Amino acid sequence: MTIDTYHGLPEKDLRGKLAELHAENFKSAFTSEKMNPRKGAEIRARKKEIARILTVLSGRAALARHQSEEKKLELRLGGLGRPHEGSREDKRRRAMVGRRLEETRRAVRELATVVADGGKPAAKPAKAKKK
């Protein structure tokens, strides 16, 4: 299976498949399967499948972390007051939180594209023709 097939599966199915692949590799470690070149290729293929599943799961976890951080930063920025008000220190704090919020939003956009589209880059918007 390719990584694109795993993007659409729910987490429960991915975790079940992961446990199944780990169990198969564990069983093969205690048999003479590793000595057989054909069986060794199957073990390597299972390891690659495990890596693909872990990549999808870690991408989803990273997206969830960044989304929660984005919400926290929005609340914090709202609590710091309006722009151009307060002391120089308040303005500096707002600027720092604002920059971190923009970085987090960019990360959320990138991760959402990768997780939702199966790793394909987002299509660039078409340029408007001049009349």
Q: What is the pTM of this model?
A: 0.71
Using CA atoms, how far apart are residues 88 and 91, in angstroms rounded to an integer? Answer: 5
Residue 25, pLDDT score: 86
Helix (H), strand (E) at residue 81: none
Contact 79, 97 (CB under 8 A): no
Using CA atoms, how far apart are residues 81 and 74, in angstroms rounded to an integer? Answer: 12
Per-residue pLDDT tens digits for 18-62: 999 999 988 887 776 556 777 778 888 999 999 999 999 999 999
State the Cα torsion 80-81-82-84 to the nearest 10°.
Answer: -70
Average pLDDT over residues 109-126: 65
Contact 27, 68 (CB under 8 A): no
Rounded CA Rg of the chain: 23
Tell me the percentage of the chain whose pLDDT exceeds 70.
84
